[in-house]
Structure 1
């Protein structure tokens, strides 16, 4: 997908473009892949079967620079930009999509702070998130779906002196813990439907975390329910006040959605490897299946090229004018994930049902790529709305 035919973007550059010849920086992909092999691969079954939260790996990945592409060097970033974020997520998801999703949560929250007007947060907590010292979630699923009139807002805010009081319940927010933070957004009373976006400390008064029901997949992502009861968020934890929220959404939405492609790319690549593995002994019968590994690999190569190209643009601060293209690419990523996992399961055959065989795990993970906000049906609805000429200025 070439950008030459597209109109220039209207979003101002939030941080400097990627330097052509960066200095040696944290985040070397060779070192990160070595870390994945040594610290994540041995724990994948525990994450999937025992719902073990890979906290130690996440902190080690942060220390190795795995999150630093999400922000500018002035705030602890490495200057490698969104493409680096996607590449790290891709490498992690190739082994474990649960952990790849946690990487998305961490880097998405970092980017929300980077793109806010809150310089205090950028200087104080953003470097700690990028280093993995502080782990972070993103509670914008309900915000996104509510702005697109798919469901009602579950939170509400009230302006008080020095900040906002928030009430309500978010049922599922991931990458959380007592010492974690996460970003969310909700409407403010008497502000004509305008939203406030805030960074929540999980140990703040009036807030508590509660366990959710067990999931058949992605259960090691520390996904918890978030209860707010007159929980005060001070102004120094605000990412965007109501009068700033429209422009803030335009800055964060393209990258928030596009970065999820790192999960899909890694998963699809892993499914291709499963198909290749099966073909070593069963190519004589696998050849009769509808999807062959070459079919999937060809589509994957084209998707990866498009993802990296747009990621490079997002690093320079553009993206709002490509939102339709981003939505279509994200939709294709979810659909190809399910197609690739289905093909891998059929290639593996009965042994794909074994607990230790990754084929059945990849199938469960693939449905997550297609269901996580924005889900397949959500994406198709928004694409149809934009193509019909309906304005989609919200999340």
Structure 2
């Protein structure tokens, strides 16, 4: 009952968006289509089923400028903004969502650094990350869930001379490997406020460990992280406890919104599969729910809203758009599930084969729906925002 009502609300939210808002074009990057065809497309099954990590593709995409949108020109970026990042991610995700997710991890890490006040850290790491010479991840899933009261913090920071000592375990962080970096955060003992910092995986006190194996997304460099008195000097801190609230307010909306790059690309590829199947089976496929035209219409609306919000966040990372971001991100999850199921049903038995793109799209769509923030977390945060709004109105 709740799910049906929620889906109806999401569709209503999408269709309430101004349809006159233009969809931005220009996310095309010279050489990306060729790189996808040459390096990514031939390896999609190996990425999905064998856990092959497309390191060379990710490095070459950086060399082409695929990560440059979220970084200022002073640090090697192009300044095109989050809009460009989502478009590149969407284009890659049409072929392989695992790789699209790795791009999200890389660009999220870049954006965390870009929005930090630590100029020395930015000068040291941003140029290599933006060019793909250095690869990076994001380990803020537990941090965000802790902040929302969903999970206990799995890491603890203790203030010591010159920095902090970190202890604990993160069960999985993605786009990692030897020599990579990633950003995470945790509360400080006897303080309670958050600390955000950069982790170098080759440093003493840190260890990468093979973790769980998943139904999809195996080729994402997802590993468990162990911290044993890992020392973070103050030069590697992105936000100290006294500034962490304002820092989180800057990074969170864009981090969540950028995930739409995965969903938009996935839905587009599912529509392509439906249209392909209908070339020979339209007579029977017409009785299925979620036809290509309907999905394409809702995708166009989701794209317009996504790019409206990316432009706002490009202008002001702290813009008060979190409610709209959560709504479109939830819509992206719901639309991904519907589109992938429809693609598989349209393909029929052919879509159920081991190497079929259709069954892979279904598993990828479930990832879009459960990656932090998952559908249940998005609904919870929206409900909390609504409750706070009602309380504010009743007390005014």
TM-score by length of 2: 0.91
Distance 1:28-1:331 versus aligned 2 partners, 3 A rule: closer
Cross-structure match for 2:256:
257
Distance 1:344-1:64 versus aligned 2 partners, 3 A rule: same
- 1:179-194 to structure 2, matched below 5 A, reads 179-191=179-191, 193-194=192-193
- Work out the CA distance in 2 between the residues paired with 1:151 and 1:287: 45
- Work out the CA distance in 2 between the residues paired with 1:218 and 1:69: 25
Cross-structure match for 1:306:
305
- Residue 38 of structure 1 deviates from its aligned partner by 1.5
Residue ranges of structure 2 left out of the alignment (5+ in a row): 1-16, 19-25, 391-396
- Work out the CA distance in 2 between the residues paired with 1:165 and 1:141: 20
- Residue 92 of structure 1 deviates from its aligned partner by 0.5
- Residue 35 of structure 1 deviates from its aligned partner by 1.3
Cross-structure match for 1:73:
73
Cross-structure match for 1:231:
230
- Work out the CA distance in 2 between the residues paired with 1:160 and 1:390: 41
Cross-structure match for 2:44:
44
- Work out the CA distance in 2 between the residues paired with 1:187 and 1:355: 44
- Contact in 2 for aligned 1:255/1:319 (Cα 8 Å): no
- Residue 318 of structure 1 deviates from its aligned partner by 3.9
Cross-structure match for 1:113:
113
- Work out the CA distance in 2 between the residues paired with 1:80 and 1:360: 35
* SS, match of residue 165 in structure 2: strand
- 1:45-60 to structure 2, matched below 5 A, reads 45-60=45-60
- Work out the CA distance in 1 between the residues paired with 2:278 and 2:175: 37
Cross-structure match for 2:154:
154
Cross-structure match for 2:278:
279
- Contact in 1 for aligned 2:312/2:319 (Cα 8 Å): no
Equivalences, count: 367
- Contact in 1 for aligned 2:59/2:132 (Cα 8 Å): yes
- Contact in 2 for aligned 1:109/1:183 (Cα 8 Å): yes
- Contact in 2 for aligned 1:274/1:348 (Cα 8 Å): yes
Cross-structure match for 1:219:
218
1:340-388 deviation per Cα after TM superposition (whole angstroms, max 9, x unaligned): 0000010001111112210000000000000000000000000000011
Distance 1:28-1:353 versus aligned 2 partners, 3 A rule: closer
- Work out the CA distance in 2 between the residues paired with 1:304 and 1:53: 29
Which of 259-268 and 29-38 deviates more? 29-38
- 1:120-199 to structure 2, matched below 5 A, reads 120-191=120-191, 193-199=192-198
- Work out the CA distance in 2 between the residues paired with 1:374 and 1:254: 11
1:168-224 deviation per Cα after TM superposition (whole angstroms, max 9, x unaligned): 000010000110000000000111x10100000001111000001211100110110
TM-score by length of 1: 0.91
1:111-154 deviation per Cα after TM superposition (whole angstroms, max 9, x unaligned): 00000011001111011100001000000000011111111100
- Work out the CA distance in 2 between the residues paired with 1:259 and 1:368: 15
- Work out the CA distance in 1 between the residues paired with 2:289 and 2:249: 41
Cross-structure match for 2:98:
98
- Residue 333 of structure 1 deviates from its aligned partner by 0.2
Cross-structure match for 1:8:
none
* SS, match of residue 78 in structure 2: coil
* SS, match of residue 389 in structure 1: helix
- Contact in 2 for aligned 1:137/1:173 (Cα 8 Å): yes
- Contact in 2 for aligned 1:310/1:319 (Cα 8 Å): no
- Residue 319 of structure 1 deviates from its aligned partner by 4.9
Cross-structure match for 1:18:
none
- Contact in 2 for aligned 1:155/1:167 (Cα 8 Å): yes
* SS, match of residue 320 in structure 1: coil
- Work out the CA distance in 1 between the residues paired with 2:234 and 2:337: 43
- Work out the CA distance in 2 between the residues paired with 1:311 and 1:347: 33
